Structure formats: C-alpha cells, structure tokens
Chain A
Amino acid sequence: MLHCITRRTFRVAACIMARTHVNYEIKGDVAVVRMNDPNSRVNTLSTQMQREMTEVMDEIWGNNAVQSVVLISSKPGSFIAGADLNMIQACTTAEEVTGLSQEGQRMFEKVEKSPKPIVAAINGSCLGGGLEFAISCQYRIATKSKKTVLGCPEVMLGLLPGAGGTQRLPKMLGLPSAFDMILTGRSIRPDKAKKMGLVHQLVDTLGPGLKSPEERTIEYLEEVAVEAARGLAKKQIPLTKEKGLMQKIQDYVMSYPFVRQQIYNTVQNKVMKQTKGLYPAPLKIIECVKAGVEQGPTAGYLAESQHFGKLAMTPESKALIGLYHGQVTCKKNRFRTPEKDAKTLAILGAGLMGAGIAQVSVDKGFHTILKDTTLEGLSRGEQQVYKGLNDKTKKKSITSFERDSFLSNLTGQLDYNGFNKADMIIEAVFEDLSIKHKVLKEVEAVIPPHCIFATNTSALPIKDIAAVSKRPEKVIGMHYFSPVDKMQLLEIITTDKTSKDTTASAVAVGLKQGKVIIVVGDGPGFYTTRCLAPMLAEAVRVLQEGVDPKKLDGLTTGFGFPVGAATLADEVGIDVAAHVAEDLGKAFGSRFGGGNVEVLKTMVEKGFKGRKSGKGCYIYQPGLKRRDVNTEALEILESYKLTPNAAVSSDSDIQYRLVSRFVNEAVLCLQEGILASPVEGDIGAVFGLGFPPCLGGPFRFVDSFGADKLVEKMRKFEEVFGNQFTPCQLLLDHAKDPSKKFHK
C-alpha cells in the first residue's frame, strides 16, 4: 500500500518535472538553472532545450522569491556548444531558417531585458548560439579550464551568428574585436576573453578534493556565480565597468562615421582578398554589423535573421556543413579497438616528415624514438621538434614546463636500441623502394612480434614495400602531409594482407595524434597523390602553353584552392612531383599525361626543386615575403612550348581542365574501391590537398555542379586532348541519372 502511494506521488512529481534538458533549483533568492542534454556529450540549443528553457525562465520571472538567476551546464566540458545543426538542415526554405533566427533573437532579447540579473556560468565550450545566449545575459563568469572556449564558429559553416551575435558583439567589444571574432570564427580562451571584456570574472579550475576535480570545479563555479548573482541583484556589483583610457579613445574615434566607414572598407577588402568572393558569409556578416551600427537595432536584427536564412540555403554553407560532419566522422575509429594500445613509437628518419610526426606524438604522451643515420640529420630533426613545441610556448598555448616534459618523451638515436620495446614503427626514410626494403628488413630483425610497421610514403604502393616482409599483416601505409603539425589529414593505406587489428591500431595512433583520418585501399598514389598528379600534369601543360605561373596561381586560387597550382608544386617539391609523375605515368599510362615530365626533370637538373632549394617556379629568399617568378624556369618552359588551342584556353576552361581531371580521378578511386566512401574522398581532398572548401570536396562538387555538366565540359576537352579527359563510368552513371547523388 505504502509502496503504491509513493509510486503515485512520484508520478505526479514526474509530470511536473517532465523536463529532461533544463531544470532549476532555488537557492535562497537565486534560481540556479542547469542545462544537461541527456542524449548528447554536449549541450546544443535544440528545439527541446529551447522550449524547456523558455518554460523555466517564465516560471522564474514569475516567481517573486527569486531576485537573480545563474545559468550553468551540468556537463563537464560543455556550456552550450552551439545551435542544433540538424534543426537548420531540416529546413527547406530561407524563410524557415529566418524564422528560427527570429525565434532565437526574441528569446535572447527577453534574456537581455530580464529584470532579474542573469549570470552565465561558463565551463567548457561556449560557442555559436551558446555564446549568443551568454552575451545576452547580464554577467558572465568563466572557468580557466582548457576546455573553456568562447567563439562564434558560424562563419566556418558558411553561416553567421543568427541570434543577436552580429548585433551585441560590436556593442560589447567595439568594431575591430567584434569583426575579428565573427569573421575568423576563432575560439577565444578565458584569459583573452576577460581582457577583451567578453567575460567579467574568471574562476580557477580545481584539483582533487572530496569529489572529482571536474565535478567540484562546476560546483565551485556555481558557488561563485550564485554570490555574484546576489551581488548584482543588490547592486553591490556594478554592471557597467569603468572604461579605460584606450577604450575611451577608441570610442571617441569610432564616433566619427567616416572612421567606421573606413573600417568597413578595410574589413571588406581584407575579406575579398582572402576569400576571392567565393564565400558569401563574411560579406553578409559585415552587412549585418553595419546595418545594426548605422541604422539601429531594428534594421540590424532584421538583416541578421534574413541573411542567416539566405546563407543557410547557399551551396557554400551546405558544403562547409558537410565537411564539418565529414570531419566528425573521420575523427572516429570505424575499426574496432586495437588489441594492444600503442605506447612506444619509433620513427625512422628525422627529416621534415619524421620530425613532424615525432612532434605530434610526444605531446600526446607517446614515448617516441626518433632514429636517423647521421648525427647532423638527427640534430636537425630534434631541433625541429623543439622549435615546434617552443613556438607553442611563445604563443602561450603550452607552458615551458609542459614543453620540457613533452620533450622528455623523445629519444633521439642513431641505432636500433630500444626497438625491441616499440609498438609501432613509422618509417619516413627517402622515397626509394630499395632503401625502404633495406630498412624494413633491418627493423623486422629487432622489433617484437606485435609491433606494427607503418610506412610513410606518398606514392610507393604498400604491397611493393611489404613484399620483403616476413609479416605482411603488420605492414600498413601512413601517409602524413607536410608540415605534419599543421596539416590535419592522415591517409592510412591498407593492403589485402594488412590485418584488421593493424588498421585499427594505426587509426588509433593517428587519432591520438590529432589527425583527421581516411582509410583507403592500396594502389599507385593511393587516393590523394593519385588525384593530385593529373591536376599537376595539367598545370604543367598550362605552363607550357605560355601561361605565367602567377596567372596560373590566380586561376586556381580564384577557383577556391587555398594555394595556387604553381606554388603547390614548389611546396611539394619539383623533384617529388617529377618522381610521382613518372611513377604514376608508368602505372596508369597516357591518362596521366598532359604536361611533359621532361619539364620537371630539367628543372630538377638545374636545381630548381621548389621552396626547399630556394628556386622552383618562383624564387624564394629567406625573410622576403614577395616572390618573383623564376625566369630561368620560364626559359625551360619556353623550350618545351606548346601552342594553346583557343577553344579550350579561356580562363574558365583552364580552371575546369585542372579541376575536372582531379575530380574524375577521385570518382574513379571510388569506382575502383580505393575509397570506401565519398565522405572520406571529400575530407581527403579538402584537408590533404586543399580542394576548395566552399565546394565541399570533389564528390559534393559533382553533386552540386551536376555530373552531366561536368561530363559535358570533359567531352569538350577530350576532343582536344584525348583520354586524359575521358569521364569514368561512375561519373557517366551519375550524369545519366540526375537523381544519383554521392551525398544524400
């Protein structure tokens, strides 16, 4: 009987407390509102969250016993990570999205005008809509946790802060800081946020006590926030901070319309220079800010919601959101957990790649052996690791103590000492099959049976390298991109013989190193190099046709590539390009033709190996940003001159000649099963090769541009150049049936 009664009362209580995402507790005269999305690792401003938040706030505003409010998340590491992307993606028209934006604006307006002061207590990510929520509160307190970051990353998704961000931030931070924050989407750490005036107060993270550090830190943040809320309600804490001299001067200067106009112009020019006008979001952001500042809030908020709606419907935004989702996918291990956790890595070769791999390993806690054959090589490599970490110290992202302790994970040596304890070998020696064979045999003699042998190569087929191995199931390819500490992509290549556990282990190591990972099948050039090679071959032909390297760079960057084709060749290295072009030319035949390989070879003979040798297509002088075209290289091109065919040589034709070969090869990789999915293809192309992010990768480009239109263009080029432009079967299938899409 008793049992029944308790159950019934519980049910009644459950009805009242049916909220799952937002709850609150009243502590004296302060209402503590706690957010916790039960279905996710992070809080997002989902429909459910917004609905419950509105309910809770209405209750609190109606409760006379409450004088002030604290808004806090119960999740360690996440305040609110942003709006719910699915909510936006579910919309089919700009008007719908504008509606969402206006709903958000209304909600935050109510928060901003709250008669009871609201303190946002921030621990963990406070991004996008989360930041917009926080800045509409009257007071912000943030923890100094490494996980606490504030920012508006919307621009990186081709959107803009659509719930008041473009209106409140300029008022709060001034135009320059606000533009910087909204246009770059950069994450701001707590100490910087305090300096900028984005938060009012900082709270330290706590160590072990009577509860876990994370739990106690949130509790502590809440205690401090509750005190602050009381102080605000009693007006003991002033809401407006006295402005510093610099602030006063800035405000004074900004009061002149022509100064503001000057800022808009400068920002606009900078954006145009960096985006080539290919990204609509930054321009719309400037418009929204301008509307708010110059015409007042009504116009500003209206502009914000309307532009937000329009941007959500742009292919650029869809491409960028697709990349975001793809990146999340490629940050997961789709293979099972490896049997043994790799703890000790041994890297062979302390060159640019080897040292780069060592750098991203030591700071993740891997004990890392860096082996080279000469003392000079080793010294250079160790210096590179030191410099990489020391630069982080200078930027204050790590302390000098952390730097030292990371470096203690590094052992530099010339012999195979300690290799018997290695869990994984990453070989980054010279790209020559016989050298790789020699190294593989030497290493297999000293490593334990479970140890994986990963080879870092950009073009040599893994099965050829594994041919001399006694245990080919432990051999795998790990293709890093240079510079390793900056480039996010890691291309992992498996052969037919590579075991699943070896793959799982390589992916696990790569993920720990912070990489975005695609796993592809074996073959000449794998995926990334194979896509790049035909494009570079085409670039050489274009140069032979008399197009200036600068013009070529302009055409490629104008299409959205972050680095021009000529510059890219210099960065990769002309010798490497020649090597790859020859190897893949042999493997794939005339399809990989185009430019004459002899052009590259002659350049190499003359010592024009690209940036590393100081001369390539351009001349590089240390300390000098400006680069001149290498006239001697032009002379070589002159001697291999081709006559351009006017029918396929317009600027746009050249762009599509370059891009269509890239895209066709990518689609062929999917057709041949080198790629497991279009998502990995897009991620690999964008993060490894700089395929225009605004197009979202080759597969999304085919979807949005239209396979039929692309095939049509290729047919035109095919007539002039032959089979290099023959569309592959899968592309033809998509062209024939417009309902076929790579991305749903």
Chain B
Amino acid sequence: MQIIEHFMSLSLIRTVLLTAFSFCSAARSLSTSVHLQAQAKSKKTLAKPGVKNIVLVDGVRTPFLQSGTTYADLMPHDLARAALQGLLNRTGLPKDAVDYIVYGTVIQEVKTSNVAREAALGAGFSDKTPAHTVTMACISSNQAMTTAVGLIAAGQCDAVVAGGVEFMSDVPIRHSRKMRKTMLSLNKAKTLGARLSLLGSIRLAHLSPELPAVAEFSTAETMGHSADRLAAAFGVSRLEQDEFALRSHTLAKKAQDGGMLSDVISFKVPGRDIVSKDNGIRPATMEQLAKLKPAFIKPHGTVTAANSSFLTDGASAVLIMSEEKALAMGYKPKAYLRDFVYVSQDPKDQLLLGPTYATPKVLEKSGLTLNDIDVFEFHEAFAGQIMANLKAMESDWFAQTYMGRKTKVGAPPMEKFNTWGGSLSLGHPFAATGCRLVTTVAHRLQKEGGQYGLVAACAAGGQGHAMVIEAYPQ
C-alpha cells in the first residue's frame, strides 16, 4: 500500500511538472492564446457546419472474463448476442428501428464468419436489418463504430448498432496443411483404391496441428516480444511497468466497487450462474509482481504475465444515431462522436506506438491541444507499451525524428488517464475493447463534468486509432 501511495505521489509530481511544462511551451509559442483557450474551453463545441452531429446513445458490455472461465463452453456469437440483447434492454430500442449492424472480431470462428449477422438474428433483431463484420485487430470495434459514423454521416442510415466480440476460450486450431490437402483430395477420390492410397499417405507429421499465435504475420514476432523490445527501446524499467499494472488493477477495483462500471450488464450463462462482474481485476502487491519471471524475453526481459493484458472473453455494443433521430426518438444522448483518425507505422519496431502517432493527429483535426482534454482512455495492451507511448509523446526528438512534427504533443496527465482501470485489469477481448473505451469516456465525462475525451489505441499490424468525444450537454 505504501508503494502505491509512493507511486501516486510520484505520478502527481509528474503531472504537476508536465502541466507546468506544457503551460510554458504554450506560453512561449503564443502567450495570448492561453487565456483565449481557457475561456473558450467550456463553451466551444466541435460541431462543424454541414457535418451531421452523431451521438452515442448508450453502450453496454458483457462482463469481461478471463478465457477458460465461466464462458468456456459458449461460442462467440453467444457473447455477441448477450451484448446486443443487453443494449436493447438498456435502451428500450424497438428492434426494427435499427438500420444496420456492424460488429468487430479478430480471431474468427469459421462457422460464424459473419458473426454480426448470426448474433443479430439470435438477439431477435429484425431479419430485415443487414449486418456485417469488420476486423482490424485490437481496434476492430473502433472500426465498427467509425463505420457506423460513416454510414450516418453519409446519410445512408440514422441508427446503427456497433460492437465487437472476442472469444479466446475456443480458438480455431487447424489440421496441418499437409493433412488438409490430403483430406481435400480424399473428397475428390473416386475409387476405394484411391481413397486407401491417400489414407496410406498420412504420416505422423500430418497430425501435428497448427495453432494460432498472437504474432505478426509480417515479422513472425509475438506481440509480447515486441512490447518488451519497445519498453527497452524507451528505457521503461520493470518497476515502472509493475507500478503501472498495479495502478490499473487498483483503479479498476475502486471503480468496480464504487459502481462506476455501469456499462457492464448481467448475463445468464446457459448451464452456469449469472455473471455480472469482470473477473480479472486482482490488485496484488509490488512484491508479488516482482516475483514473476519475464514471459517473452528470457532471462532479461521486463514484460511479465502480470504487466500484460490477459486473454479475455467478452463482447460490447453501442447504439449510434444521428442527433436528430435520437432526439426524435426521445433519447438523451451520452456524447458526441467527433473527429477520428487511423494511423499505421512499422509493424516491427513501432508495432504498439499507435497512440503516439494518432493523438497529435486527431487533436490537430479537432483544433484542440492536449490540455483541452479532460478524460483520456487509452487501450492498455501492456504496461510497458503504455509507458513507452507516454515517453514517446513527451519526446521532442521522437516527434521530430520519426513523426515529422516540430514538437512533441505531450503526455496525458495521469489523474485524467484511465482512472477506472484499463485493459490490463478489466481485460482485453480484442475486438470488444474499442466500445468499452468510448462508453467509458462518455460515462467519465458525465461523472466528472468534463467536456472533451480522447480515446487512443494500438493494434497489431502496427496500426492505431484515436477519437475525440465531446460530452452531450446535460
């Protein structure tokens, strides 16, 4: 506990320093703008003339469970169905009022490759509502949401449900290519003799299965390995990572106990109990964390099981509407979804730096600075990845050398950053995390009375995303 306090005070000092510094730099560049911005802050809305206001009506998610626990016997569309039904219950939305459904998923169950459609039908949506599935690694449901935004902005739809699901308790493990080839030939073999000779050609090597790995296809490097290298590149120590992981768990626990995680719906798992809480939140002591051996780079690595996000099952869903339509249907929207960007960079050495690249870009688009943001929700893939991103955002050298920018964007102040926990503690069902981040920003803006929130996330393939969210006037 002492250590946590120590850490908190450290981070406070850090925040003070940061704010002081960024104030200085702003003052240096344009001394008058400081006042102007401060004045405009609470008034300025990001609405643009000629662009539809698009709102988040509400968002829900199933409890995020460690894979192999209570959800173990389900299928992905079951979880997605639960989230969709939860959204219907929460919003009281008439099932035929939805124009379109977009869902994200990363590890595909081959039987339900368009999981959006299977889940929508099962959740009782009208069979007249089309649905498609998108995939973009850990930002899949962000992609689902921005697809929805695009459909509404283009005037094609008024109400779209977006979401994401990930189910790691069961993943497709395939026969080897050799075996698949033999089996496919077997289908075509016409005579018994041909079949027998094919069967006879099967060797022991045919039987070894192909396992899916959380590895980059282009570099064959697992993500944890890349995260460890990234942490080392930015000189992030093991202690810093463990401290950040502990912070995530501590804050998540606090949020869970304080009833902040209102996006979580209860879910009666067939054959099991009702689940209503995330089960991966486990604040430990620094001593316990320090005992763990590195998980990827041995023996000198710094990324461990405890400072990485764990394999998680879960699904999320949000209702996105044009403001007009929402108001016409009598809804009180939670937030405006404003500018967003997607970025991508070197999938080997900058795999997880998406937030660093996306943040300044989206802020620029919205005409905001880091100081304007009241609520930050960043996806925590690894503690080391978050710390590396924070250091990169704080570095003029990095901004100039690798991003072609004149100055750094600055690191978010910690008291505004992931204050209800994050992927490290709440869990990270790959394609469901995006909606959780956006819904959490909306809820935190409501609770804390801020105006702007920023979501940022990294994704496999060296991609990244950021979105600016504006509180809906209360």
Contacts and interface: CB of A to CB of B under 8 A. Distances in A.
A208 B219 contact: no
Interface in B226-258: 228-230, 232-235
B220 A208 contact: no
Closest 6 CB pairs of A and B: A207-B349, A209-B233, A206-B233, A401-B218, A209-B234, A224-B300
B235 A210 contact: yes
Contacts of B217: 401
16 contacts: A201-B299, A203-B300, A204-B225, A204-B232, A206-B232, A206-B349, A207-B229, A207-B233, A208-B349, A209-B234, A210-B392, A210-B398, A220-B232, A224-B300, A227-B300, A401-B217
A241 to B, nearest CB: 13
B258 to A, nearest CB: 37
Residue of B218, B220, B300, B401 with most chain A CB atoms under a 10 A cut-off: B300
Contacts of B402: 208
Interface in B188-243: 217-220, 225, 228-230, 232-235
A172 B233 CA distance: 33
A213 B349 contact: yes
A269 interface: no
B23 interface: no
B391 interface: yes
B235 to A, nearest CB: 7
Residue of A205, A206, A227, A228 with most chain B CB atoms under a 10 A cut-off: A206
A208 B229 contact: no
Interface in B260-312: 297, 299-300
Interface string A207-237: 1111101001000100010011000000000
A209 B385 CA distance: 12
Nearest to A212: B401
Given A207-B349, A211-B397, A401-B219, 19 more contacts: A201-B299, A201-B300, A203-B300, A204-B225, A204-B297, A205-B229, A206-B233, A208-B349, A208-B398, A209-B230, A209-B233, A209-B398, A210-B235, A210-B391, A220-B232, A220-B233, A224-B300, A228-B300, A399-B219
Interface string A261-302: 000000000000000000000000000000000000000000
Nearest to A204: B229
Interface string A184-206: 00000000000000000101111
A152 to B, nearest CB: 28
B395 interface: yes
Given A201-B299, A227-B300, A207 B219 contact: no
Contact of B401 (A201, A203, A204, A208): A208
Contacts of A208: 233, 349-350, 398, 401-402
Contacts of B388: 209
A539 B234 CA distance: 65
B415 interface: no
Interface string A367-400: 0000000000000000000000000000000010
A-side interface size class: 10 to 19
B299 A207 contact: no
B346 interface: yes
A211 B232 CA distance: 11
Contacts of A399: 219-220
A201 B301 CA distance: 12
Interface in B376-419: 388, 391-392, 395, 397-398, 401-402
B297 A207 contact: no
A562 to B, nearest CB: 37
Interface string B163-188: 00000000000000000000000000
Contacts of A216: 232-233, 235
A440 B293 CA distance: 66
Interface of B: 217-220, 225, 228-230, 232-235, 297, 299-300, 346, 348-350, 388, 391-392, 395, 397-398, 401-402
Contact of A209 (B225, B235, B346, B348): B235
Residue of B228, B349, B392 with most chain A CB atoms under a 10 A cut-off: B349
Residue of A201, A208, A224 with most chain B CB atoms under a 10 A cut-off: A208
A208 B228 CA distance: 13
Interface in A392-420: 399, 401
A632 B401 CA distance: 69
Contacts of A228: 300
A399 B215 CA distance: 14
A195 to B, nearest CB: 15
A213 B220 contact: no
A207 B220 contact: no
B443 to A, nearest CB: 35
A274 to B, nearest CB: 35
Residue of B234, B297, B348, B391 with most chain A CB atoms under a 10 A cut-off: B234
Residue of B232, B348, B402 with most chain A CB atoms under a 10 A cut-off: B232
A207 B219 CA distance: 14
Interface in A691-743: none
B388 to A, nearest CB: 8
A463 B280 CA distance: 78
A232 to B, nearest CB: 13
A206 B229 contact: yes
B390 to A, nearest CB: 12
A520 to B, nearest CB: 43
Given A201-B299, A204-B297, A207-B349, A213 B233 contact: yes
Interface string A158-197: 0000000000000000000000000000000000000000
Nearest to B388: A209
Contacts of A211: 397
A405 to B, nearest CB: 9
Contacts of B299: 201
A478 to B, nearest CB: 34
Nearest to A400: B220
Nearest to A206: B233
Contacts of B397: 210-211
Nearest to A203: B300
Contacts of B297: 204
B300 A207 contact: no
Contacts of B220: 399, 401
Residue of B228, B235, B346, B348 with most chain A CB atoms under a 10 A cut-off: B235
Nearest to B394: A210
A399 B220 CA distance: 9
A399 B218 CA distance: 8
A207 B235 contact: no
B220 to A, nearest CB: 7
Nearest to B300: A224
B178 to A, nearest CB: 17
A710 B229 CA distance: 62
Nearest to B345: A208
A208 B349 CA distance: 7
A200 to B, nearest CB: 10
A210 B399 CA distance: 10
Nearest to B402: A208
A554 to B, nearest CB: 44
Nearest to B217: A401
Contacts of B232: 204, 206, 209, 216, 220
A207 B348 contact: yes
Contacts of B300: 201, 203, 224, 227-228
A294 B19 CA distance: 73
Contacts of B391: 209-210
Interface in A482-516: none
A224 B297 CA distance: 12
Contacts of A201: 299-300
A180 B104 CA distance: 54
Residue of B217, B229, B391, B395 with most chain A CB atoms under a 10 A cut-off: B229
Contacts of B350: 207-208
A220 B299 CA distance: 14
A220 B232 CA distance: 7
A163 B218 CA distance: 43
Interface in A46-72: none
Contacts of A204: 225, 228-229, 232, 297
